[in-house]
Structure 1
Amino acid sequence: MQTAIAFIIIFGSLVFFHELGHFVFAKRAGILVREFAIGFGPKLLGIQKGETLYTIRLLPLGGYVRYAGAEMDTVELVPGYRVALQLNDEDIVTKVILNQNDKQLSDIVFMEVEKADLIHDLWIEGYDEEEQFVRYQVARTAVVVENGQENVIAPFDRQFESKSVGHRFATIFGGPLFNFILAFFIFTAGALFMGVSKNEPILGDTTSDGVAQEVGLQKGDVVTAIDGKKITAWDQMVGMIQESANKEIQMDVIRDNKPMTFTMKVQESVMKQGKEEFRKGVIGVTYGGAMEHGVIQSIKDGGEQTWYWATLIFKMLGKMVTGQFSIDDLSGPVGIYKVTDMVASNGLANLISFAGMLSVNLGIMNLLPIPALDGGRLIFIMIEAVRGKPVDRRKEGMVHFVGIMLLLLLMIAVTWNDIQRFFF
């Protein structure tokens, strides 16, 4: 149950902040946002607030922000269509009602539509119940009601495609950007809560199966040298040990103000990443130095951790390009759930670091130039900026549709691999 809660909180937060980035920049650009959704598929919960519908959907595999102006978003009033109009005191239409029971609308004006423009000039004309020709202006905030559902109309200047290249680029880029910002705050909060290592070469607890305990090293020992080379920092010591797998080393320490020397053979740890095996030396000891608590140190650590994970993920992507990684090495929601379970069992510090890493990963993956992802959409916007006119929307839509289908197939394959890896 704890794993499920941790997974829901972490994954839900990453998706929420990603979509919030799109939402915030869309609002700043004046784009009408129809829906802010967490999840896909059938709606489980929906709350209409202002012009936006906020929903939670069945499949927790992501989310989306639906902007005004999409093909399915357009309301077309064809000639001969009978509608009911609600007018304000200045005879401006504030509500256009479709498919309603006449008996419920006795106080509203009825019209048989001849022509209408609910996008550019905002008017509607036709014939009233006395067959007199009438024309009304439509308010910019007018609502269209169909089958009981209300939607604010979307004048062209409030649609996504009407905005400048810069505004559209910022709106799409806002999602990944908020993931990077979230990662920074997660790492910073973790550092504030648990402190930042002072990087002192002081030993902490030793593991029962490690060579450190075997040769007699103890918690609190201060490492001063390895093989005669002076040690001044924990990461320096770790680096030397990792490079000494299966080699014998001599470690000088100070214990209770007395110098001591220990000789040991460094153990080897093997970790697989894709087709490649990484071997490093370990002696079975944790960090035992002091931790700093402070805002400045925590902010610095938050930035360093965000940068570290971003560069590491880019290196992993490079290995995918060169064939060192395959589809069998990728993980989907099932794999992330299992890793969450393992990480959560190792303490809050590891869980916080894992959440920050996932946020960085989500931001970077969405920026990849793949159709249907944010990166693919940004490519089309940049092409438009260079050539001075947009790519044909139908062609772009087809490219994104193909991308969605391929991503769905990839998700199915990755999920199946996860199921086989962890349950069979």
Structure 2
Amino acid sequence: WGIPQIDETRVAKVDSEMLPPGAKDLALLKSGTKLLAIGERVVNHWGDVLTGLSEAQTGPLRITGENPETIVEIKIPASAIDRQSIAEALYLWQDNVIGVVNPGSPAEKGGLREGDRVVKIDGILVSNWYDMTDLVRSNPDVQLEFALEREGRELTRFVTPELIVEGGAELGLIGTLAPALAYSYEKVPLLSAVQLGYQETLAWSGMILTFVKDLFTGGVSSRDIGSVLAIGQIAGQTVRQGIEFYLRFVALFSINLAILNLLPIPVLDGGHLMFLGLEAIRGKPLSLGTKLVLSKIGFIFLITIMVLALYNDIARLMGM
């Protein structure tokens, strides 16, 4: 037990559009490059890569790969946002093997199975997970030919990605997940573990609030909402991946419930806090009738969300 660290230092791809000025040469790293050092820091796992980039001094920085031709020089900017962009532009290597096939998904309908290695899509060579997802996402509602390796056999399957709208863009989705990553654990003192847990809780809370905001502003689709069926599926997947994944899921689910319960919606605790705030501003309590009307509106809203979430889950299971 300790801080989970991903046992991988290979780069799958580099998003050149995210790189700030001075760091553009990072895009010269080829897919599959194994990183050995960030500056003077030897990297043994992906956490070392991210730490090396975030803690590097402003100015020139050498990125060293396993081959002489994979050594690049970049300039680390002073801006924390630009530094974060460099880290986010690096995509961690994930094998082109299907880890999970969601029930009722286009992948299941097309005959893809867990453990299949995707070799080509429409004749285009696939070397890692992002090669596959990029091709799928760029071909919504278009039948694709998957060349696979399954238990030593070569076979072909045809899958049509479902068209989804994300951020105003039409994308393809087949309903698969990458295989679980291999982790090692870096031991930390108890007090440091408490601090890290606090920081991660804040980070997850921010992500949940961002999702809620995007849901109302159109940044994400209402089809992304799930009910108890989706929760059960995800819980089952994390159990298969290992106890540490399941415990992290339980922790995230608990944070999710706590955040949602504090939203200013009548009938939730956040709604009661909203009533108290309004009464403090007005200098007098709200009338019982006003509270009842607002509570009914909040109750109807929550029931609507629950019905929508259940419909989404049933639609996914039925392939709708």
- TM-score, reference length from structure 1: 0.39
> Match of 2:130, SS?
strand
1:344 aligns with 2:239: yes
Q: Aligned partner of 1:370: which letter?
A: I
How do 1:220-231 and structure 2 match up within 5 A?
Answer: 223-225=36-38
1:268 aligns with 2:159: no
Q: 1:288 Cα shift? A: 6.2
Spell out structure 1 runs of 4+ moving beyond 4 A: 204-207, 214-217, 229-233, 238-241, 260-267, 269-274, 283-290
Q: Residues of 1 paired with 2:264 and 2:180: CA distance? A: 43
Q: Residues of 2 paired with 1:298 and 1:274: CA distance? A: 39
How do 1:337-376 and structure 2 match up within 5 A?
Answer: 337-376=232-271
Q: Structure 2, unaligned stretches of length 5 or more?
A: 13-30, 54-62, 71-92, 94-126, 138-163, 172-177
Q: Given that residues 226 and 310 in structure 2 are in contact (C-alpha distance below 8 angstroms), is that contact kept between their aligned partners in structure 1?
A: yes
Larger Rg: 1
Q: 1:367 Cα shift? A: 1.3
Going from structure 1 to structure 2, the CA distance change for 1:348 and 1:420 (only over 3 Å counts) comes to same
Q: Aligned partner of 2:296: which letter?
A: F
Q: Residues of 2 paired with 1:332 and 1:204: CA distance? A: 36
Task: Encode CA deviations 1:337-381: one digit per residue, 9 max, x unaligned.
Answer: 111111221111111111111111111111111222221221111
Q: Residues of 1 paired with 2:256 and 2:182: CA distance? A: 27
Task: Encode CA deviations 1:296-346: one digit per residue, 9 max, x unaligned.
Answer: 232122112211111111221221232112321111111111111112211
Q: Residues of 2 paired with 1:322 and 1:230: CA distance? A: 44
Give 1:378's match in structure 2, choosing from 239, 249, 273.
273
Q: Residues of 1 paired with 2:52 and 2:249: CA distance? A: 26
1:305 aligns with 2:167: no
Q: Given that residues 9 and 36 in structure 2 are in contact (C-alpha distance below 8 angstroms), is that contact kept between their aligned partners in structure 1?
A: no
Q: Residues of 2 paired with 1:395 and 1:366: CA distance? A: 21
Q: Residues of 2 paired with 1:370 and 1:410: CA distance? A: 12
Q: Aligned partner of 2:281: which letter?
A: V
Q: Residues of 2 paired with 1:322 and 1:384: CA distance? A: 29
Q: Residues of 2 paired with 1:323 and 1:391: CA distance? A: 33
* Partner in structure 2 of residue 195 of structure 1: 2
Q: Residues of 2 paired with 1:351 and 1:393: CA distance? A: 44
Going from structure 1 to structure 2, the CA distance change for 1:231 and 1:398 (only over 3 Å counts) comes to same
Q: 1:290 Cα shift? A: 5.4
Task: Encode CA deviations 1:363-409: one digit per residue, 9 max, x unaligned.
Answer: 11111112222212211111111222111012211210222122112
Going from structure 1 to structure 2, the CA distance change for 1:372 and 1:417 (only over 3 Å counts) comes to same
1:252 aligns with 2:59: no
Q: Given that residues 3 and 186 in structure 2 are in contact (C-alpha distance below 8 angstroms), is that contact kept between their aligned partners in structure 1?
A: yes
* Partner in structure 1 of residue 47 of structure 2: 235
Q: Given that residues 372 and 404 in structure 1 are in contact (C-alpha distance below 8 angstroms), is that contact kept between their aligned partners in structure 2?
A: yes
Q: Aligned partner of 1:235: which letter?
A: G
Give 2:214's match in structure 1, choosing from 315, 319, 324.
319
> Match of 1:223, SS?
strand
Q: 1:230 Cα shift? A: 5.5
Q: Name the structure with the higher strand share.
A: 1
* Partner in structure 2 of residue 329 of structure 1: 224
Going from structure 1 to structure 2, the CA distance change for 1:389 and 1:348 (only over 3 Å counts) comes to same
Going from structure 1 to structure 2, the CA distance change for 1:345 and 1:240 (only over 3 Å counts) comes to farther
Q: 1:215 Cα shift? A: 6.3
* Partner in structure 2 of residue 399 of structure 1: 294
Q: 1:232 Cα shift? A: 5.2
Q: Residues of 2 paired with 1:348 and 1:378: CA distance? A: 37
* Partner in structure 1 of residue 81 of structure 2: none
| Number of aligned residue pairs | 198
Q: Given that residues 11 and 32 in structure 2 are in contact (C-alpha distance below 8 angstroms), is that contact kept between their aligned partners in structure 1?
A: no
Q: Given that residues 264 and 270 in structure 2 are in contact (C-alpha distance below 8 angstroms), is that contact kept between their aligned partners in structure 1?
A: yes
The percentage of aligned residue pairs carrying the same residue is 22
The Cα RMSD (Å) is: 4.1
Task: Encode CA deviations 1:130-159: one digit per residue, 9 max, x unaligned.
Answer: xxxxxxxxxxxxxxxxxxxxxxxxxxxxxx
How do 1:20-419 and structure 2 match up within 5 A?
Answer: 194-197=1-4, 203=8, 223-225=36-38, 234-235=46-47, 237=49, 252-253=65-66, 268=130, 270=133, 275-276=166-167, 286=181, 291-419=186-314
